[in-house]
């Protein structure tokens, strides 16, 4: 029996989905396939609630993302957070499905209180733990499985999806201002005329690396970086070797540059914000990184990449995937708990050298689509 016309019209009205995730830079980027799927299912760009300052920069100009609310901290108590009270006020009038793509117990506790104060019915919410965890499931496959699930207050049949609504690799977008800013920075730093290789020695856990008592499974020793840089320079003498990272990673980058003692080794730890980094990655020859947020960005921008994994966060769940079919080598430590310090510089060098041979030409249409 054919449905009445008024029902078909009602079903066709787009509804805005909401994603809540208090993740770091890489965690937020891995939500991109979910955001795309939700936009396709519900017909409107997703609204986001996140913690930190990077989500707005990450998803600027993204067609699947609408308004973004960023809390300065994930841990601020509700009583002392005017920004949370403002979010509660609009949540009380929000009628769309809410996807809480969060697995941290602490963050889930704060989010549940936020929704409770906003008097949001549980039936309109879907929490990541609701779908269960599957061993060795890649994080992208997990968020896509999450996005194919429907909160109880909505009928899945009213918001269907197609197989091609899901893509397996996160993708980001730049606009004309981003391209112009990246080019101006590269020219100002004298990095336009030779191949540019980015190296990311640190991650968000890196603090006073020279004083650390415990072993960080993601920390590759300074001597290993020095050996890699010297081998890269010998293989590609004209290339600029750019050590990048956040300001707190400046000391370790300075130590690596000092020990390498090559004029081609340069630092960018204070003047490479997210949008500029994306534009630079789009132009770069390649990148070598420990498991970090910038490594996620490189994959999303089609930059050939080698990533070093150690500890419990291995490539089986976190392997980078290229949005444009560019080569990525995911090197896991053996045994994983030993950390990336067990990965030999020669192994990383050979993986990096193989990127150029494996790199396909990026079609102009795909490159243009990144703008």
* Number of residues written out for the chain: 371
Per the structure block, which two tokens stand in for 96?
């769309």
Q: Look at residues 255, 174, 182 and name the one whose alpha carbon lies nearest to residue 221.
A: 255
Type and span of the H or E element at 275: helix 274-283
Taking each continuous run of H as one helix and of E as one strand, the counts in the chain are 15, 11
pTM: 0.89
Q: Look at residues 317, 339, 337, 320 and name the one whose alpha carbon lies nearest to residue 329.
A: 320
Per the structure block, which two tokens stand in for 348?
């990383």
- CA–CA distance from 315 to each of 73, 138, 204, 312, 325 (Å)? 29, 8, 18, 10, 18
What DSSP letter does each residue of 27-85 carry, written as one string?
Answer: HHHTTHHHHHHHHHHHSSPEEEEEESSHHHHHTTT-TTEEEEEEES-SS--GGG-HHHH
Per the structure block, which two tokens stand in for 270?
């204070």
Per the structure block, which two tokens stand in for 168?
């397996």
Long-range contacts of 342-345 (CB under 8 A, 24+ apart): 342/310, 343/220, 343/224, 343/308, 343/310, 344/224, 345/224, 345/227, 345/228, 345/231
Bridge partner residues of 287 (DSSP): 198, 305
**Could you tell me the fold of the domain covering 5-165?**
Rossmann fold (3.40.50)
DSSP-derived pairing of the beta strands 265-268 and 305-309? unpaired
**Could you tell me the fold of the domain covering 176-368?**
Rossmann fold (3.40.50)
Residues of the chain with CATH 3.40.50.2000: 176-368
- Along the 371 residues of the chain, how does pLDDT read in single tens digits? 344 444 444 445 899 999 999 999 999 999 999 999 999 999 999 999 999 889 999 999 999 999 999 998 777 776 678 888 999 999 999 999 999 999 999 999 999 999 999 999 999 999 999 999 898 899 999 999 999 999 999 999 999 999 888 999 999 999 999 999 999 999 999 999 999 999 999 876 665 444 454 578 889 999 999 999 999 999 999 999 999 999 999 999 999 999 999 999 999 999 999 999 999 999 999 999 999 999 999 999 999 999 999 988 889 999 999 989 999 999 998 887 789 999 999 999 999 999 977 666 554 444 444 44
Rounded Cα distance between 344 and 143, Å, is 33
The contacts of residue 191 (CB under 8 Å, 6+ apart) are 240, 242, 266
């Amino acid at each position: 029996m054919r449905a009445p016309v008024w029902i078909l019209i009602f079903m066709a009205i787009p509804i805005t989905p909401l994603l809540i995730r208090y993740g770091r830079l890489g965690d937020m980027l891995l939500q991109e396939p979910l955001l795309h799927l939700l936009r396709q299912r519900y017909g409107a760009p997703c609204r986001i609630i996140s913690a930190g300052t990077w989500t707005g920069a990450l998803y600027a100009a993204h067609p699947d993302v609408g308004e973004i609310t960023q809390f300065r901290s994930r841990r601020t108590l509700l009583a002392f957070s005017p920004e949370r009270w403002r979010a509660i006020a609009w949540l009380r009038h929000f009628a769309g499905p809410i996807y809480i793509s969060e697995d941290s117990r602490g963050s889930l506790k704060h989010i549940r209180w936020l929704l409770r104060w906003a008097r949001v019915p549980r039936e309109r919410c879907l929490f990541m733990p609701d779908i269960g965890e599957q061993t060795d499931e890649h994080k992208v496959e997990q968020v896509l499985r999450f996005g194919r699930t429907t909160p109880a207050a909505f009928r899945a049949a009213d918001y269907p999806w197609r197989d091609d609504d899901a893509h397996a690799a996160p993708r980001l977008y730049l606009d004309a201002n981003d391209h112009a800013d990246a080019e101006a920075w590269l020219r100002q730093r004298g990095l336009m005329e030779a191949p540019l290789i980015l190296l990311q020695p640190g991650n968000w856990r890196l603090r006073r690396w020279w004083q650390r008592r415990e072993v960080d499974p993601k920390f590759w020793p300074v001597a290993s970086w020095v050996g890699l840089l010297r081998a890269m320079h010998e293989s590609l003498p004209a290339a600029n070797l750019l050590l990048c990272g956040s300001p707190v990673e400046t000391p370790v980058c300075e130590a690596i540059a000092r020990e390498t003692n090559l004029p081609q080794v340069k630092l960018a730890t204070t003047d490479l914000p997210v949008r500029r980094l994306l534009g630079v990655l789009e132009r770069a020859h390649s990148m070598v990184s420990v498991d970090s947020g910038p490594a996620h960005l490189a994959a999303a921008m089609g930059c050939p990449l080698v990533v070093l994994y150690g500890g419990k966060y291995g490539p089986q769940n976190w392997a980078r995937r290229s949005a444009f079919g560019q080569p990525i080598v995911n090197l896991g430590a053996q045994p994983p708990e030993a950390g990336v310090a067990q990965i030999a510089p020669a192994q990383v060098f050979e993986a990096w050298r193989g990127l150029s041979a494996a790199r396909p030409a990026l079609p102009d249409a795909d490159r243009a689509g990144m703008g």
